[in-house]
Structures are given as C-alpha cells and as structure tokens.
Chain A
Amino acid sequence: MRIALVGNPNTGKSSIFNLLTGLRQNVGNFPGVTVDKKVGKLKVLGQMYELIDLPGTYSIYPRSRDEQVVYDSLSNLDSSEYPDAVMVVVDASNLERNLLLFSQVYDLGFPTMMVLNMTDIADRQGKKHNIEQLQFMYPEAIIVEANARAGLGKERIKNGLSNLISRTTTSRKLLSVDDFSNQEAETLERFEEIRQGLEKVVSKEERSEVKNKWDKILVHPFFGYVIFGFVLVVIFQFIYAFASIPMDLIDGAFAMWSNWMSNAMPPGVFTDLITQGIIPGVGGIVIFIPQIALLFFFITILEETGYLSRVVFIMDRLMRPFGLNGKSVVPLMSSVACAIPGVMSARTISDWKERLITIMVAPLMSCSARIPVFTLLIAIVIPEETVFGFMNLQGLVLFALYLLGAVFALLVAILLKAIIKTKKQGFLLLEMPEYKAPRWKNVGLTVFEKVRVFVWDAGKIILAISIVLWALASYGPGTRIETSINNAKQEAVEMQLSKDETDQLVASTRLENSYIGIMGKTIEPVIKPIGFDWKIGVALITSFAAREVFVGSMATIYAVADDGTTSSSLIDKMRQEKHPDGTAVYSLAAGASLMVFYVFAMMCMATLAVVKRETKSWKWPLIQLGYMGVLAYLGAWITFNLLS
C-alpha cells in the first residue's frame, strides 16, 4: 500500500518519516524535477506500507517547482507516486494555517490520516485541542496525536494506518494550477470554514510567552552578522582544516592498498587496471566523505534549530541583487574548502533559480585543491619580496587569486540572473519556525543519506572518468611506448643514471608517448597563445581528474621525484625549462596565466558529477564546464598578453 506523506514545512514531517521508517529509506527521483524522492518502508500487522515523503508545502496549489511534485503526485492517476492513502502532518501549535492544506488534501477523496504533531509546543503555548470536535470537522479522517521530536506516537500512527477509512464523500473539485482567482476564492472559503470549526477545537489559556526571544540577538543589525560570521568560521575551520586529518589517512590507506595489491598480484594489464585505475579511483571518491559529512552535520543542525531561516532573513537583502538566496552564503563559503559539499548543500535553497545560480558559480570559489597548484607556481614565478613595507608578495598574489574567483562568482551570478528565465515569480514569504534543539537522529540520518548519495550517484561517474584517464596515460598507439622506453633505458645506461633516475625517465617517457601525451602535443597550438607548451597541456588533461594532480603530473613529465607538494627539485627543474628559442617556459607571464587559468577552469570531474546529480541532467554541468573553460582561456590570454 502506498502512502503519500504531506505537510507544511517545519511541521516535523521528516521527523515523522524517520520515526516510522528509520534506516529503511531509499532516495530516488521524482520524474523530471530535481527533488529528492525519499521512500521508506514499514510493516504493520503483516501489511507492507510504502511511505513517500513529498516536499513540504503550504497549499496543494504549487508556488514553486518542488511544490509542483505534490500537486502532480496527488492529482495524476498515472503518476508512479499516485498513492492509495495520504498521511498529512499538521502542526498542532499552528492549526489554522495547517488545516488549509489538510482540508485541500482531505477533499481529494483519499483515505486520509491526520498526524497532529508538535503537541508539546502547543502545550507550551497554552493551546488545548478537543480531538472529538476536530474529528467532527473531518469525520472520515483518522486523527492521531504525535510528538515525533520526543519519539512519541509511532504506535498510534501504525494503528491508524491499519484503520484507514475508505471515503464516501468528496466535496470540492481540484482546480487547475494557474486558476488564481478561483484558488483565492476557495482559500477564503476554506479559512472561513476552518475558523468556524476551530472555535470549538482550540481553547487557549493566555500565557505571557516570550516569543522567539533569541531573535532579539540573532537578527540584530550588528550582532546578527557577527554571530553568523562566527558560525561560518567554525564550519569553514572544520571542513578546511580538521577534515584533512581523516583525508590524509584515507589517502595513505589507499596508497598502501594499491602498493600491496601490485606486489601481491602478477604483473600485467589487469593488475595495473586495479592498482592504478580502480583503487586510486575509489580513493578519489572516498576522500571527499569527511568534508561532506562534516558540512552536512553542521547544516542539518542549523536547519533543525530554525537558525537557517534567520540567516536568510538577514542575508536576503544583500544576496538578492546577485540572484542568490540568503542561504547561498553557506554553499559558497563551503566551496572555498571544496565545491562538492558546497554544491550538495545548495539543496537547502527552495527557489530553483536561486539554487541553480548558486550551484553554477560555487566552483569559482577557490577550493583547497587549487592550493598545491598555486603554491607551486607562485614559488616558481613570484619573487619572495616584501611590498608596502610589511606584506609578503607571494602571500598577496595568493590572496588576489582567491579574490579573483570570489568576485567572478558574483559577476557570473548577476549574469545568470539576467539570462535564466523562470515562469514563477521569486518571493521570500518564509516562515520563521520556533527555535528547537536539534534531533540527533535526524542529523545522523541526513549525514548518512548525503554520503550515500554522493558515493553511489556521483561516485560511478568519478570512477569511470578515473579509469579512462588512467588508460589514456598508460597506453599509446602501437608499440610507440615500448620503443621509446627501450630507447630511454639505453640512454639511461649510457648516462650512468641511478635506478631511481632511470625509473623517473621511464615514467616521463611513458607519459610523453601515451595517448594523453599525444593529446597534449595536439592541443599545443591552441594553448600556445596563452603561454603554455605541450607539457603543460598534458598536465591540464591529467588534472581534469582533480586540480592537485597537476603537481604530480608535472613531476612525472619533468622526471623528478614527486616528494610532496612543493618539491624543490621540481621547482628548480621548472625554472630552468626553456623554449627552443632559449626563453624561459615559466616566465612571469606564463606562470600568472596558468594561475589565472586554474582560478577559472572547471578542472574537477567530481564537481561535475555532483552538479549532474544535483541538477538531474548533463545540461548544467556541461554549460558550467563550457563557461568556466571560456573564462579560463580568456582570463589566461589577457593575463599572458598584459604581462609579456
């Protein structure tokens, strides 16, 4: 039996869903939209129930893309979500507004259950409910009380499910989505009926309640921003600095695993595929888990407590000119650590256009994977000098690169705001829920869900691209690699190189003659105008997997040991590198051009995979890849020509 779960936002609907289904949840898609479809299972008296969590809405008539799902699922007999019965979660502390949606759903004629939730908050406000009178208003509904936050009501809901009443009466017909004038008339009628009915249902003792006393400080014109700034710094510190501890462990573990496997297995293509293609590919997925888990740990707490709607309140005016939402601040700030959790967290933005713009510009914020690239290049082309008496020039350049990314994120946002058209008018009209302590079970389930979605949905794309890149870097046409390696080995013997030096020369020769090496040489005419040679071209292609791969690829190409991020032998080698005409390859102009290129270019397959997953189509990640590529090329071209 399929049950649709509907309710206003902030009614504890997801707490009810979690209470009933626990870990027996699956995330899928609603057809055609970017809304996660959470489906959970529960069993009552031998009968299986499939619970579908529909997006929160104030009315059956949709005012956003997410809400359209509710209308479609409940009105379209052919939709795969069309339910056998409906469970409506209602906030007992705010019955009047909640009953609008309930009465709309009740009139659709499904067997209907009302879960009167948050009875604790109603009690605190001195509101008492006469359930018999409420039953009188909706005679064919099953009405149960619950307090999902305290874990109360599970048995009552289960009982209610097996007692659902099939319906005999339906009064109103559902209106079409854009029939605004009749919707207005119907809404007024319903509110009048509800008001009359509720006179006998709710009795309120007057209490001198201090409403939302926290708002005094949290939306204060000065302290509001100070507190939000502090919250951002804490989140940033965790995903930027503290996440590196488990990330280094993961990195080391996968390197050890790969090493152990290559020793344990007979040499050959299959072993190489596993040790150089699959294991590093899986490692490249797992490495992001700490950051994703930490960010969603914090965001879920902010959401659960009700603070996130205050953030929207104080940031709305500032973000509006950019086509962004007050909630965009958290994804953009997180993207300075890593765009992947940043893009995923844009899910909290309910307006589709604002969410899309946030996702599209998030990767322009300089992430931590760019740091190894920037530090290597700064060390090569920027002199270690003090400017203005106290500032380190290298540090200043690094700061300028961060600023460049952030400024362009906002500029592109303004541009996208003008370009992307939506039928629906943007509005705020946001409920500011009461402050509540977070429910740790909800926090845990959300973190688990986000990690699982990333590993499965984005992970397969990341793994596939890593294997392709590995194959392209390891194989070349015909016997080209074998022949050149044999030549290199002879050369090494003649030059009396040590074993390590010989290995480095072989690796360099292999990469040069692989498909990627050939591709690097092929694109040389294209990247020459921005100051790059084919060796940089090779590193650009390999670092499409992830930006930090640039450093390792450079080390391989220049046949030096890759002993960490800023190996001095690599810096020396790159400084000495000359064009055939004797000029330095890594001149100030070329180095700066390359840095600007990395500020803008979408060199991260994992981000592309996540954007695909979050926008549910290849259209947006491809547009992103394209516009960031154009920006990178133009930026690098201007930089190169200005400086040379």
Chain B
Amino acid sequence: MTKTLSDITNGSKVMVSEISQSKLRVKLMEMGVIKGRILTVLYRAPFGDPMAIDIDGYVLSLRKDEACLVDVELMTEL
C-alpha cells in the first residue's frame, strides 16, 4: 500500500515515489518535491494542518490536501 506524505508522522524520513497528476504537480516539483528526493517531516500546525517538511536543508510548509498528492516510501520512522 502506498502512503502519501500527509499520512507520515512527524520526525520520519521518506522518499518521494510519485506525484499525482494535478495542476499543482509542476509547482511541487519547482519547490523541490521531485521523485527520488528524501524529505523529513518536521512538525505540524495545530489541528494537524498544514505541515512542515525539510527538503535538502530548507523548510517548506504545505497543506494536507497538497501533501496528499505526494506518494512516498517510508525510510525511517521515529
């Protein structure tokens, strides 16, 4: 079963496996969310949305429905 970025708990490392077809796909890519990239989920805002992730040393915040577009493979869990 594939997981999306929105399911991942804080502190976990994941690898991007696929980004769903969407108008936002190209925008996500431009922000550095591309296939094979390793991301770390840092923390979430109150109510669990939005979330903040680390991409190669910079912090990106994104909403739950944006994170849903990103399929990931879990690397390490905390």
Determine if B38 is an interface residue (Cβ-Cβ < 8 Å): no
Within B27-71, the residues touching A (CB, 8 Å) are: 27-32, 34-35, 42-43, 45-47, 49-50, 52, 54-63, 66
* Contact across chains for B56 and A212 when beta carbons are under 8 A apart: no
* Contact across chains for A94 and B58 when beta carbons are under 8 A apart: yes
Chain B residues whose C-beta falls within 8 Å of the C-beta of A63 in the assembled complex: 27, 30
* Contact across chains for B30 and A100 when beta carbons are under 8 A apart: yes
Known: A225-B46, A316-B45. A431 touches B59 (CB 8 A): yes
* Contact across chains for A58 and B60 when beta carbons are under 8 A apart: no
Q: Closest CB-CB distance, A560 to chain B, in whole Å?
A: 54
Q: Closest CB-CB distance, B19 to chain A, in whole Å?
A: 9
For chain B, which range describes its interface: under 10, 10 to 19, 20 to 34, or 35 or more residues? Answer: 20 to 34
* Contact across chains for A317 and B47 when beta carbons are under 8 A apart: yes
Known: A212-B59, A313-B50. A429 touches B31 (CB 8 A): yes
B46 interface neighbour in A100, A125, A184, A221, Cβ under 8 Å: A221
- Cα distance A212–B24 when bound, in Å? 27
* Contact across chains for B63 and A428 when beta carbons are under 8 A apart: yes
Within A288-314, the residues touching B (CB, 8 Å) are: 309, 312-314
Question: C-beta contact mask, B4-44 vs A, less than 8 Å → 1, else 0?
Answer: 00000000000000000001111111111011000000110
Chain B residues whose C-beta falls within 8 Å of the C-beta of A188 in the assembled complex: 29, 34-35
* Contact across chains for B43 and A215 when beta carbons are under 8 A apart: yes
B60 interface neighbour in A61, A93, A225, A432, Cβ under 8 Å: A432
Determine if A59 is an interface residue (Cβ-Cβ < 8 Å): yes
- Cα distance A225–B34 when bound, in Å? 33
Determine if A180 is an interface residue (Cβ-Cβ < 8 Å): yes
Determine if A191 is an interface residue (Cβ-Cβ < 8 Å): yes
- Cα distance A477–B57 when bound, in Å? 73
* Contact across chains for B32 and A428 when beta carbons are under 8 A apart: no
* Contact across chains for B54 and A211 when beta carbons are under 8 A apart: yes
User: Majority SS of interface residues in chain B?
Assistant: mixed
Known: A58-B30, A180-B25, A225-B46. A309 touches B58 (CB 8 A): no
Known: A180-B26, A183-B26, A432-B52. A427 touches B32 (CB 8 A): no
Determine if A283 is an interface residue (Cβ-Cβ < 8 Å): no
Chain B residues whose C-beta falls within 8 Å of the C-beta of A431 in the assembled complex: 31, 58-61
Chain B residues whose C-beta falls within 8 Å of the C-beta of A183 in the assembled complex: 26
* Contact across chains for B61 and A317 when beta carbons are under 8 A apart: no
Determine if A430 is an interface residue (Cβ-Cβ < 8 Å): yes
B45 interface neighbour in A187, A211, A212, A317, Cβ under 8 Å: A317
- Cα distance A429–B27 when bound, in Å? 8
* Contact across chains for B61 and A428 when beta carbons are under 8 A apart: yes
- Cα distance A309–B61 when bound, in Å? 9
* Contact across chains for B24 and A427 when beta carbons are under 8 A apart: yes
Q: Closest CB-CB distance, A587 to chain B, in whole Å?
A: 47
* Contact across chains for B29 and A429 when beta carbons are under 8 A apart: no
Determine if A97 is an interface residue (Cβ-Cβ < 8 Å): yes
Chain B residues whose C-beta falls within 8 Å of the C-beta of A225 in the assembled complex: 46
Determine if A577 is an interface residue (Cβ-Cβ < 8 Å): no
Residue of A nearest to B34 (CB): A191
Determine if A425 is an interface residue (Cβ-Cβ < 8 Å): yes
Question: C-beta contact mask, A561-594 vs B, less than 8 Å → 1, else 0?
Answer: 0000000000000000000000000000000000
* Contact across chains for B23 and A425 when beta carbons are under 8 A apart: yes
* Contact across chains for B59 and A432 when beta carbons are under 8 A apart: yes
* Contact across chains for A224 and B46 when beta carbons are under 8 A apart: yes
16 contacts between A and B (CB under 8 A): A58-B31, A93-B58, A96-B56, A125-B57, A180-B25, A187-B29, A211-B59, A224-B46, A309-B61, A313-B45, A314-B46, A316-B45, A317-B45, A317-B50, A429-B28, A429-B66
Residues of A within 8 A of B (CB): 58-59, 61, 63, 93-94, 96-97, 100, 125, 180, 183-184, 187-188, 191, 211-212, 215, 219, 221, 224-225, 309, 312-314, 316-317, 425, 427-432
Q: Known contacts A221-B46, A313-B61, A317-B46; can you find 10 more A-B pairs with CB under 8 A?
A: A94-B57, A100-B30, A184-B25, A187-B30, A219-B43, A225-B46, A427-B62, A427-B63, A429-B27, A431-B59
